[in-house]
Amino acid sequence: MKLRKIIRIRAILLAKSGLRIGMSRDQMAIGDLDNPVIRNPLTEEPYIPGSSLKGKLRYLLEWALGGDYILKSKDKHVYASPDPQDPVARIFGLAPENNPESLRIAQERGPTRLLVRDAYLTEDSKRELERVAARGGLYTEIKQEVFIPRLGGNANPRTTERVPAGARFGVEMTYRVLDALDEEYFKKYLLKALKLLELDGLGGHISRGYGQVFFLHPGKPWEGQEDLPLEERLEIQEVPL
């Protein structure tokens, strides 16, 4: 097994609707938001963790393939395929269980092919969002929602922070190619997962309109890209070793 080449994917991720990737916290002060977004602790700017993006791509591909990925996953964790050529395990990685057979399969399968970087706001998008920051929004918007129980009718307001529609993030992924099967899987499965992401969404509350995203080619004029297929809206380069 030998690394033949690396394929690098770059794109601008456009939030076509409000985007909310939440953060966890240990405590909540009086007056805090109910649902804050995750932020870079050094800059306080919202960003998209690579783990969130990669996890959603994996989730969508598993559901698209169906079968064992859904039916045989245990304890709500990912399905550990016994096939070394399993596309999901090869592309997204799979930690082997501590037994000889699982370790043999992992050795034959090789390393995780896909690496996804954290995605940060583009410089021009930050300048646009500074107008929001000037109003105290810190590059985000605060959306008020009201939950009304079916019985009783008492309104329960809640506040949700999200990155406003129109924000743009720089996305970068790298894909390791070790054999001919990896070449095939790149086009057959990884590009498919990216297409599914545009049809589905990223982050929370997708069913309520949040999280619609669209990829733009970073080196082309953005006008007119709506009609281009995904492959033409990604900057795909083979990096020499």
pLDDT given at position 75: 64
pLDDT given at position 29: 55
3-state secondary structure of 48: strand
Residue 178 is encoded by which pair of tokens?
A: 């070790």
Q: Which residues pair with 156 in a beta bridge?
A: 147
Q: Whole-angstrom distance between the N-terminal and C-terminal Cα of the chain? A: 15
- Paired sense of beta strands 5-15 and 119-121, if any: unpaired
Residues 6+ apart with CB under 8 A from 64: 192, 193, 196
H helix and E strand count, the chain: 8, 9
What residue type is assigned to position 46 of the chain? P
- Residue 112's closest CA among 98, 95, 100, 127? 95
pLDDT given at position 183: 95
The CA distance from 239 to 115, in Å, is: 14
Q: Evaluate whether 47 touches 118 at the Cβ level (below 8 Å).
A: yes
- Residue 181's closest CA among 108, 130, 121? 108
pLDDT given at position 35: 76
pLDDT given at position 140: 85
Please name the residue that has the structure tokens 């909310």. Answer: 20
pLDDT given at position 134: 61
pLDDT given at position 120: 97
Q: DSSP class of residue 105?
A: H
pLDDT given at position 240: 79
What does each of the 241 residues of the chain score in pLDDT, given as a tens digit? 899 999 999 999 999 999 999 876 655 555 566 678 899 999 889 999 999 999 999 999 999 998 777 777 666 677 888 899 999 999 999 888 888 888 999 999 999 999 999 999 999 999 988 877 665 667 888 887 777 777 766 777 777 888 999 999 999 999 999 999 999 999 999 999 999 999 999 999 989 899 999 999 999 998 889 999 999 999 999 997 8
